[in-house]
């Protein structure tokens, strides 16, 4: 028979899933155009001005082209991130009760990140839909999924190792630093102050982590721009991209300013919306 404490923990975990999904949906719609600018910079190593010019040439009707995959992927991903972080934490507490708190939280965060990586096919399709040369070939997400399937299921997971590494490490750092950063801010005196603190802590942490892992996303985009053909390893892809960027780390960070801005907005929205929804659901 379940105790009231166990029932409360399970109910809270369900709220984590729902509130994470709601926060993600809000964020994707608000920041998608900025994300497209950053993607073009990652893919072609161009300035923000040239990336914006490309989007203008594509036309307004293409501005939100490809939004369905990230909407589905991000909603599921953030829901899993928050929900499974707590679920895995509860499981580890039950089965390994002597585990140090910091290690339990780190393992739970990494486990949630690894599980998130299973949603990679949506991220893969999003990449293809954002590339200009595929605009006529893939009129929508469904057609893109069908076309990729002709190359085998492995094609959906091109760049899987990069995403696995990025998700697990970034989750560990996010959940490890999230509370300390918020606690370091001045104590809020109102609900608006709480929302502001959640936004600020999420913004700076998200921007910092996305900047740290930015080169991984550059390599991921370089791997996923191809459809069919050999699957080159991550190191081989990095060597190729680094050579194309004139062996310059500065060029490897092309688009990082847009990425920082997008992540600042995105994780501020996610963190503050998530905490707000959690308070409403409590």
**Cα–Cα distance between 273 and 195 in angstroms, integer?**
8
Counted residue by residue, the chain has a size of 282
Domain spans in the chain, listed from the N-terminal domain onward = 4-281
Q: How much is the pLDDT for 1?
A: 44
Query: How does pLDDT run across 249-269, given as a tens digit for each residue?
Result: 988 998 888 788 889 999 999
Q: CA 3 to CA 215: how far, in whole Å?
A: 47
Q: Which two tokens stand for residue 153?
A: 């299921």
Query: pLDDT tens for residues 207-252?
Result: 999 999 999 999 999 999 889 999 999 999 999 999 998 889 988 9
Q: Is the Cβ–Cβ distance between 126 and 66 less than 8 Å?
A: yes
Q: What is the pLDDT of residues 9-26, one digit of tens each?
A: 555 558 999 999 999 999
CA distance 88 to 108: 5
Burial (Cβ within 10 Å: 0-12, 13-18, ≥19) of residue 165: middle
Domain formed by 4-281, architecture: Alpha/alpha barrel (1.50)
- Rounded CA-CA distance 72/28 in Å is 10
Place of tokens 């300035």: 47
Return the pLDDT at 8.
53
């Amino acid at each position: 028979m379940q105790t009231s404490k166990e029932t409360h923990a399970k109910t809270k975990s369900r709220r984590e899933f729902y509130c994470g999904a709601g926060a993600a949906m809000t964020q994707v719609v608000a920041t998608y155009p900025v994300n497209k600018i950053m993607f073009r910079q990652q893919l072609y190593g161009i300035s923000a001005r040239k990336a914006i010019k490309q989007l203008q040439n594509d036309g307004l009707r293409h501005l939100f082209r490809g939004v369905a995959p990230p909407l589905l992927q991000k909603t599921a991903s953030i829901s899993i991130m928050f929900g499974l972080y707590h679920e895995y934490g509860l499981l580890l507490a039950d089965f390994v009760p002597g585990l140090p708190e910091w290690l339990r939280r780190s393992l739970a965060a990494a486990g949630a990140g690894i599980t998130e990586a299973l949603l990679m096919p949506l991220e893969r399709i999003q990449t293809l839909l954002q590339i200009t040369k595929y605009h006529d070939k893939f009129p929508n997400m469904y057609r893109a999924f069908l076309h990729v399937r002709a190359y085998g299921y492995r094609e959906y997971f091109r760049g899987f190792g990069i995403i696995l590494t990025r998700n697990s490490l970034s989750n560990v750092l996010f959940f490890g630093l999230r509370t300390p950063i918020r606690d370091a801010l001045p104590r809020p005196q109102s609900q608006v102050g709480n929302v502001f603190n959640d936004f600020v802590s999420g913004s700076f942490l998200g921007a910092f982590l996305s900047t740290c892992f930015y080169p991984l996303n550059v390599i991921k985009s370089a791997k996923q721009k191809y459809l069919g053909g050999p699957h080159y390893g991550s190191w081989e892809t990095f060597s190729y991209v680094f050579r194309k960027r004139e062996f310059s780390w500065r060029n490897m960070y092309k688009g990082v300013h847009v990425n920082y801005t997008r992540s600042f907005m995105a994780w501020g929205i996610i963190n503050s919306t998530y905490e707000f929804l959690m308070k409403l659901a409590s």
